[in-house]
C-alpha cells in the first residue's frame, strides 16, 4: 500500500511546487522596503569582499542584526542585480522545500522513538504525509512569499537541521550509550546550528529548548537501553526553567520586562492575556485552515484587557491548562499529543509571551506548527490503515486536495498587490492596516501607469477609492498617524475641493499631544516632512512648526525630531548650512550611531565648503561605528567629493 501511495504524495508535492510559481512574481511589501529595496548596503554587486560583511550587518532588526539572512539577500542582489526579480522569492521557495526534506527525516526519527507505529511502512507514510501537509499548508504562504520572512525560514532551516542531528545521536545513545567525546562532539554541532539559527533570526535560539522537548517526550531519559531517572528529571527541570526565570524577573526586576512597553499601546498583562487567545487561533489555522480568517494584518483582533474582557480570555487560559494536563496524564497512551502541544508552545515562547512585539503574525507558526502537522498526519493515516472498510487513499487524497486548493487560492491572492490588498481587506474590514494596505496598493498602481496605461477617469476613480479606504483607516483608528498624513496629502495634491472640509493636520496635531507613537507613526511623520518638500500646498509653515514643537516637547531626546526639523527648514532651499548644522549636531549627540545623521552632516559641510568639518564628522562616524558597519557608505560619500579649489579648476 505504501509503495503505491508514494507516487500520489509525490504528485501532490509537484503540484504544490507548481501552485507556488505564480506567487514568485508577486510584490515586495512593507518591511521588504527598509530591509531590501531601500537598504543601499545590501544592494551590492559582490565584487568587493568587504561589501559582503557590510551587507550582512545592514539590518536593524533584532539585537543580532540577522546577518545570515541579510547575506543571502545580498547574494540574490549580486546574482540578479535587483530584488524585483522572481529569484528573490524563488530562493524562499527553495528553502521551504529544503526544510520539508529535513522534516521528513525528523518525523521518521520522532515516530521511531515514540514507538507508536505498527510497522515501518506506516511510519514512512505518516512522515511523508506530515511533510506534504506542512509544505502545502496555506498558512505558510505569508512566510514563503513575503521576501523578508526568509529570516524566519533560515532560522527554521537550521533549527530543523539541529533537531535531526540530535535525533540521530540520541537514538544511538538510547541503545548503546556514549562516551564524553561523542557527547561533546554532538554538543558542539548543536551549538553551531543554534548559533546559525539565531543569526538568521533570534528565535533560532530556541533550538536547545526544543531539543529538551524531544528528550522529555520522545527519548524519556532512556540511556544505553535503560531508563535513567536522573536524565529524565533533568529534562523536565530544563523545560520549566525558562518559566521560573520569567517569574523571578517579574518579582525581582519587573522594569527589565516592562521597559519595552513604554511605546506600546498595550501592557504586559494585556499582551499575555491576548496571546492565550491568539495561540488557540493559530492552532485553529493549522488544524482547520480557514483562509478567510487569514491575512496580512490582524490588528482588528481586540485586546484582552482582563480575564473576562472578553470572556474568551479566561476560557482560553482554562482550555490551555486542561489540554496540557490531559496531554501530560495521557503521555504514555498518546505521546504524539504531548509532543505537538509542547513543541507548539515552546516554539511560540519567544514571540508570543513577554517580549513587547506586535501582537499577531502568521509567520510565527512556521516552525511551531510542524509537530501539529505530524499529529494531523497520524490522525489521517493510521485509523485508515487499521480499518478494513476505508482505503487510506481516500482520506489522504481528500485532505491533500483541499490543502492544494486552498494553497492555490492564497498564492493567486499573493501574486498581485492590489488583489492581496482587496482580499485582505475583505477578510478584515475593521483593520486599519488592511485599509492602508489596499489604499497604498491602489496608489502604487497609479504610479506604475506607464505599465498599465490607465485613462484619466480610471486614475481618478482609483484615487477616490484610495482616499475612501484611508478614511476608513482613520475611522478604524482615529489616532493612526499614517491615515492623517495620507489624507492630508491626497486632499492637497488631488482633491483641493475637499481640502477645507477636514483639517487633517490639525487633527494630527491633537493626536500627537497624547498618542504613544509606534514605529509606523514615526515613519508616517517622516513621510509628512518628505512630502512637504515637494508639495508646498500640503501644509503651511505654521502647521508644520506646531507639529514639530509638540513633538520636541514630548520627545526631547529624539534625534528623529531634529531630522524632521532639518527637512522642514531645508524644504525651500532658503536655509543656510549655518542654520541647519546645529540641528544635525544635536541629533548626533542624541543618536551618535545613526548613519543618517552623518549623511546629512557631511552634505551640509560639503555645501558650505567645510572640508575639515567633513573629516571631523567622518572621524566621529568611525568612532561610533567600531564594527565598521557603514564603512562603505562613508567611502561612497567621499569618493565624489572635490575640494573648493578642485571645483574652481574644473
Q: pLDDT value at position 593?
A: 85
Could you tell me the three cell numbers for 117? 507505529
Instruction: Print burial letters for 514-528: b (CB count within 10 Å at least 16), e (below 16).
Output: ebebbebbbbbbeeb
Q: Which helix (H) or strand (E) holds 160?
A: helix 150-176
Q: Is 494 exposed, middle or buried (0-12, 13-18, 19+ CB in 10 A)?
A: middle
Any bridge partners for residue 226, and if so which? Answer: 223
Question: How confident is the model at residue 646, as a pLDDT?
Answer: 41
Q: How confident is the model at residue 329, as a pLDDT?
A: 94
Interacting residues of 107 by C-beta distance below 8 A, sequence separation 6+: 126, 127, 130, 131, 374, 377
Q: Are 294 and 138 in contact (CB under 8 A)?
A: yes
Please state the domain extents for the chain. 2-28+84-413
Q: Which three cell numbers stand for residue 253?
A: 526586576
Distance CA 510, CA 530 (A): 21
Model pLDDT, residue 647? 40
Q: Which residue bears the cell 481618478? A: 460
Q: What pLDDT was estimated at residue 1?
A: 45
CA separation for the pair 339, 115 (Å, rounded): 13
Inter-residue contact 508 to 546 (CB < 8 Å): no
Cis peptide before 300 (omega within 30 of 0): no
Q: How far apart are CA 396 and CA 125, in angstroms?
A: 10
8 Å CB contact between 209 and 242: yes
Residue with cell 555645501: 607
What confidence score (pLDDT) does residue 237 get?
Answer: 93
Beta bridge partners of 227: 222
pTM of the model: 0.91
Q: How far is CA 624 from CA 52, 104, 134, in A?
A: 21, 47, 45
Report how far Cα 578 is from the mean position of its chain's Cα atoms: 42
Q: C-alpha distances in angstroms, 587 versus 571, 600, 632?
A: 18, 10, 22
Which residues of the chain are under the pLDDT cut of 50? 1-3, 641-650
Amino acid at each position: 500500500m505504501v509503495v503505491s501511495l508514494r507516487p500520489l504524495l509525490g504528485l501532490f508535492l509537484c503540484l504544490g511546487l507548481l501552485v507556488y510559481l505564480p506567487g514568485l512574481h508577486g510584490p515586495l511589501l512593507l518591511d521588504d522596503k527598509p530591509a531590501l529595496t531601500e537598504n543601499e548596503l545590501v544592494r551590492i554587486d559582490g565584487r568587493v569582499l568587504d561589501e559582503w560583511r557590510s551587507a550582512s550587518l545592514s539590518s536593524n532588526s533584532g539585537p543580532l542584526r540577522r546577518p545570515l539572512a541579510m547575506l543571502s539577500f545580498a547574494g540574490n542582489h549580486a546574482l540578479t542585480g535587483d530584488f524585483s526579480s522572481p529569484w528573490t522569492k524563488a530562493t524562499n521557495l527553495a528553502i521551504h522545500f529544503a526544510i520539508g526534506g529535513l522534516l521528513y527525516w525528523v518525523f521518521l526519527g520522532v515516530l521511531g522513538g515514540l514507538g507508536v507505529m505498527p510497522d515501518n511502512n506506516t511510519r514512512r507514510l505518516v512522515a511523508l504525509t506530515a511533510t506534504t501537509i506542512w509544505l502545502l499548508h496555506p498558512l505558510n504562504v505569508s512566510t514563503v512569499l513575503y521576501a523578508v520572512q526568509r529570516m524566519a525560514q533560515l532560522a527554521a532551516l537550521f533549527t530543523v537541521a539541529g533537531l535531526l542531528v540530535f535525533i540521530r545521536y540520541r537514538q544511538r545513545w538510547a541503545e548503546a550509550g556514549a562516551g564524553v567525546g561523542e557527547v561533546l562532539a554532538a554538543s558542539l554541532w548543536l551549538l553551531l546550528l543554534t548559533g546559525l539559527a539565531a543569526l538568521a533570526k533570534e528565535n533560532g535560539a530556541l533550538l536547545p529548548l526544543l531539543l529538551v522537548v524531544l528528550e522529555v517526550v520522545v527519548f524519556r531519559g532512556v540511556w544505553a537501553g535503560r531508563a535513567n531517572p536522573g536524565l529524565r528529571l533533568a529534562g523536565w527541570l530544563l523545560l520549566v526553567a525558562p518559566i521560573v526565570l520569567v517569574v523571578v524577573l517579574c518579582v525581582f526586576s519587573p522594569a527589565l520586562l516592562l521597559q519595552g512597553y513604554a511605546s506600546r499601546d498595550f501592557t504586559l498583562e494585556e499582551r499575555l492575556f491576548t496571546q492565550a487567545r491568539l495561540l488557540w487561533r493559530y492552532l485553529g489555522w493549522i488544524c482547520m485552515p480557514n483562509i478567510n480568517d487569514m491575512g496580512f494584518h490582524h490588528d482588528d483582533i481586540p485586546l484582552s484587557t482582563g480575564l473576562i474582557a472578553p470572556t474568551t480570555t479566561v476560557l482560553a487560559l482554562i482550555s490551555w491548562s486542561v489540554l496540557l494536563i490531559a496531554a501530560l496524564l495521557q503521555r504514555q497512551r498518546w505521546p504524539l499529543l504531548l509532543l505537538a502541544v509542547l513543541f507548539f508552545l515552546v516554539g511560540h515562547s519567544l514571540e508570543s509571551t513577554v517580549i513587547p512585539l506586535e501582537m499577531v503574525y502568521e509567520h510565527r507558526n512556521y516552525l511551531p506548527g510542524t509537530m501539529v502537522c505530524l499529529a494531523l498526519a497520524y490522525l489521517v493515516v493510521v485509523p485508515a490503515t487499521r480499518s478494513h472498510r476505508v482505503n487510506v487513499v481516500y482520506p489522504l487524497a481528500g485532505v491533500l486536495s483541499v490543502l492544494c486548493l486552498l494553497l492555490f487560492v492564497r498564492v493567486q491572492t499573493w501574486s498581485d498587490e492590489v488583489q492581496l490588498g482587496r482580499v485582505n481587506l475583505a477578510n478584515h474590514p475593521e483593520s486599519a492596516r488592511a485599509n492602508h494596505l489596499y489604499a497604498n496598493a491602489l496608489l502604487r498602481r497609479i504610479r506604475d501607469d506607464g505599465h498599465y496605461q490607465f485613462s484619466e477617469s480610471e486614475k481618478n476613480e482609483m484615487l477616490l477609492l484610495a482616499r475612501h479606504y484611508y478614511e476608513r483607516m482613520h475611522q478604524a483608528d482615529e489616532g493612526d498617524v499614517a491615515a492623517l498624513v495620507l489624507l492630508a496629502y491626497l486632499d492637497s495634491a488631488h482633491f483641493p475641493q475637499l481640502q477645507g472640509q477636514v483639517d487633517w493636520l490639525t487633527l494630527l496635531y491633537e493626536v500627537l499631544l497624547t498618542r504613544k507613537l509606534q514605529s509606523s507613526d514615526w515613519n508616517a511623520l517622516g513621510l509628512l516632512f518628505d512630502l512637504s518638500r515637494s508639495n508646498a500646498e500640503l501644509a503651511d509653515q505654521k502647521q508644520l512648526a506646531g507639529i514639530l514643537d509638540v513633538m520636541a516637547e514630548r520627545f526631547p531626546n529624539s534625534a528623529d525630531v531634529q531630522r524632521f526639523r532639518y527637512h522642514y527648514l531645508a524644504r525651500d532651499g532658503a536655509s543656510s548650512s549655518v542654520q541647519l548644522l546645529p540641528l544635525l549636531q544635536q541629533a548626533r549627540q542624541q543618536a551618535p550611531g545613526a548613519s543618517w545623521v552623518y549623511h546629512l552632516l557631511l552634505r551640509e559641510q560639503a555645501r558650505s565648503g567645510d572640508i575639515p568639518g567633513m573629516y571631523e564628522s567622518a572621524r566621529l562616524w568611525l568612532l561610533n561605528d567600531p564594527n565598521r558597519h557603514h564603512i562603505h557608505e562613508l567611502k561612497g560619500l567621499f569618493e565624489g567629493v572635490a575640494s573648493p579649489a578642485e571645483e574652481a579648476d574644473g
